[in-house]
Amino acid sequence: MNTVRVRFAPSPTGLLHIGNVRTALFNYLFARHEQGTFILRIEDTDTERSDPKYSDAIIRDLQLLEIRSDEGPYYQSQRLELYQEAFERLEKQERVYFCYCTREELEARRREARTMKRPPRYDNRCRILSDQERRQRTAQGIRPTVRFKVEVKEPILIQDVIRGEVSFDPGEMGDFVIMRPDPQGKDRLLPTFHLSVCVDDGLMGITHVIRGEDHLSNSPRHVLLFQALGFRAPVFAHLSLIHGPGGEPLSKRYGALSVSDFVHEQGYLPEAIRNYLALLGWSPKDNREVFGSRELEEVFDLRNATRHPAIFAEQKLMWINSEHLKRLPEEDYLTRAFDFLQRKGVSVEDKDAALEVLLRLQKDIHRFDELPQLFSFLCSEQIYEKKLEEIFGSRGEVHDVLVSGRNVLASAHSVLKRLNSSGETLFEELFRELKKEVSEKGKKLYFPIRAALTGETCGMELKQVFVLLDTTRIVKRLDMILRLMKGSVP
Ligand code: GLU
């Protein structure tokens, strides 16, 4: 039996986005499930658009999601002689020819075809150029491309795991470019994506090509090249595209987010991202939704990949993330939560109290970026003071709540001085006393105190705030607010 060999072949022209990371994951899961080999190949032959900083970022992001390659990374820019050799082979077999049509000429012809409602395919005119015409074009300074002759007449069939057998009419396909002059001016030819993909898939013994549906129309060209180069064509699996929640193409907002944004900025767990991405275009037979990483490898079956477009829904991703958060062992959860807070510049003064709150929040939060706000009141008094300066520097909700609750705050301040307790007891005693002293109730009573102690109008339970801040700090904060209000309120 053929052992499975698959590859993820990103072009390093940008960061890894949801769409391409899903392709990587499907390849990886398929390889693991089939006990095959997963290869990473960086397709960097486009010297104008490729950048090593993106290759590095892609490799880092795959590591972040624990999508580990068994082979590679191979860099196509280091394999140029293999493509050159393939080209020479095709040239000897007279399967290719030089094309001197300029970009402008091709564009003008495409425009014309569109107006005449003809398919905009290349008309193969350079197939029959005479030597003299070639010399003339060269003398005009035109650097030719190399085109592969599409000579078959019968339909080209590809086998696709997701779509079944797909048939393409070669009559709609013009001869296509497989080598082009190096745009950076060096006097050499570089392979186009079609040639380098087929040479590498062939040489690397790739058995299954799993990639986005946007490549489906390239596959008949690839089948022809595989045949011409003497390779057996792989089985294909073209994954349906990912759309936004309303069925529109994935928006700039989500489409442009890189993996590290999801993890480091928004605070998603890598295993939750993997879990969610696996469900984008695939569903297990039993419709289960939450999977650990190993479980996914066991159950993933490419044959259950769906044909219709997958919909990216942030709410679902958040829900899956919260499920993974709940399942994390305490210590692991705490380490990651603290790392996130640290990355966001939130320093926690009273670590023991913070641990306690973090543990309480484990079952409530959806992702780590909810933590800094919940935690800001725990920060050093210095940060707290800065926050107050901001609040009193310009009017906003918190400012208004404080000002209108001045009476409550002043009473709370004097009650607190009489009380001699802390934590939950302090909270209960304070409000029991306050209810006797002031007429305000409900929100009007609780909001000003929350705003004074945390600088926010929402967040964790107020009782928890009393557990976290010791009595001296609570009194100090009320002191400060009242002082500030004397100065700021007319
Ligand atoms: N380098 C191509 C891309 O990034 C992938 C080609 C393929 O998977 O065949 O779109």
Helix, strand, coil content of the chain in percent (nearest 5): 55, 10, 35
Closest atom, ligand 1, to C-alpha of 7: 8
Do 75 and 43 touch, CB atoms closer than 8 A?
no
How many angstroms separate the CA atoms of 282 and 23, rounded?
12
Asked, for residue 195, whether it belongs to a domain, the answer is yes
Q: Are residues 308 and 394 in the same domain?
A: no
- Residue 414 CB burial class (10 angstroms; 0-12, 13-18, ≥19): exposed
Q: Are residues 219 and 274 in the same domain?
A: no
How many angstroms separate the CA atoms of 220 and 169, rounded?
9
How many A from CA of 478 to the centre of ligand 1? 60
Q: Are residues 196 and 270 in the same domain?
A: no
Q: Are residues 318 and 366 in the same domain?
A: no
Q: Whose CA is nearest to atom 6 of ligand 1?
A: 9
Query: pLDDT tens track of the chain, all 490 residues?
Result: 569 999 999 999 998 888 899 999 999 999 999 999 999 999 999 988 999 999 999 999 999 999 999 999 999 999 999 999 999 999 999 999 999 999 999 999 999 999 998 888 999 999 999 999 999 999 999 999 999 999 999 999 999 999 999 999 999 899 999 999 998 877 899 999 999 999 999 999 999 999 999 999 999 999 999 999 999 999 999 999 898 887 777 765 666 678 899 999 999 999 999 999 999 999 888 889 999 989 999 999 999 899 888 899 999 999 999 999 999 999 999 999 999 999 998 877 777 778 877 887 898 899 999 988 777 777 667 778 888 888 888 889 999 999 999 999 999 999 999 999 998 999 999 999 999 999 999 999 999 999 999 888 887 789 888 887 889 989 999 999 999 888 655 4
Is the peptide bond between 119 and the residue preceding it cis, with omega within 30 degrees of 0? no
Q: Which of 8, 22, 43, 49 to mutate to test the pocket of ligand 1 (most atoms within 8 A of CB)?
A: 43
Q: Which of 239, 261, 296 is the last residue of a domain?
A: 239
Q: Is the CB of 196 under 6 A from ligand 1?
A: no
Asked, for residue 287, whether it belongs to a domain, the answer is yes
Q: Is the CB of 39 under 6 A from ligand 1?
A: no
pLDDT tens for residues 262-306? 999 999 999 999 999 999 999 888 889 999 989 999 999 999 899
Q: Are residues 88 and 214 in the same domain?
A: yes
Q: Is the CB of 22 under 6 A from ligand 1?
A: no
Asked, for residue 57, whether it belongs to a domain, the answer is no
Q: Are residues 225 and 258 in the same domain?
A: no
How many A from CA of 340 to the centre of ligand 1? 33
Q: Are residues 86 and 231 in the same domain?
A: yes
So what's the pLDDT on residue 68?
A: 96
Q: Are residues 346 and 311 in the same domain?
A: no
How many angstroms separate the CA atoms of 377 and 387, rounded?
9
How many A from CA of 9 to the centre of ligand 1? 5
Q: Is the CB of 11 under 6 A from ligand 1?
A: yes
Q: Is the CB of 144 under 6 A from ligand 1?
A: no
How many A from CA of 442 to the centre of ligand 1? 59
How many angstroms separate the CA atoms of 295 and 107, rounded?
51
Asked, for residue 425, whether it belongs to a domain, the answer is yes
User: Strand 71-75 and strand 37-42: pairing?
Assistant: parallel
Q: Which of 190, 212, 239 is the last residue of a domain?
A: 239
Q: Are residues 84 and 208 in the same domain?
A: yes
Asked, for residue 340, whether it belongs to a domain, the answer is yes
So what's the pLDDT on residue 234?
A: 96
Instruction: Give the C-alpha distances (Å, rounded to integers) separating 140 from 104, 132, 217, 426.
Output: 15, 13, 34, 89
Q: Is the CB of 452 under 6 A from ligand 1?
A: no
Asked, for residue 294, whether it belongs to a domain, the answer is yes
How many A from CA of 209 to the centre of ligand 1? 10
Q: Which of 193, 195, 208, 209 to mutate to test the pocket of ligand 1 (most atoms within 8 A of CB)?
A: 193
So what's the pLDDT on residue 292?
A: 92
Q: Are residues 472 and 339 in the same domain?
A: yes
| Backbone angles phi and psi of 75, in degrees to 5 | -115, 125
State the CATH number of the domain containing residue 311.
1.10.1160.10
State the CATH number of the domain containing residue 174.
3.90.800.10
Q: Are residues 426 and 363 in the same domain?
A: yes
Q: Is the CB of 234 under 6 A from ligand 1?
A: no
Catalytic site residues?
A: 252
Q: Are residues 356 and 313 in the same domain?
A: no
Asked, for residue 35, whether it belongs to a domain, the answer is no
How many A from CA of 76 to the centre of ligand 1? 12
State the CATH number of the domain containing residue 365.
1.10.10.350
Q: Is the CB of 216 under 6 A from ligand 1?
A: no
How many A from CA of 462 to the centre of ligand 1? 53
The residue length of the chain stands at 490
| Backbone angles phi and psi of 391, in degrees to 5 | -60, -40
Asked, for residue 17, whether it belongs to a domain, the answer is no
Q: Is the CB of 10 under 6 A from ligand 1?
A: yes
Q: Whose CA is nearest to atom 5 of ligand 1?
A: 9
Do 324 and 269 touch, CB atoms closer than 8 A?
yes
What residues have CB less than 8 Å from 484, skipping those under 6 apart? Answer: 388, 392
For residue 290, the enclosing domain spans 252-327
Domains: count for the chain: 3
Q: Which of 327, 351, 375 is the last residue of a domain?
A: 327
| Backbone angles phi and psi of 57, in degrees to 5 | -65, -40
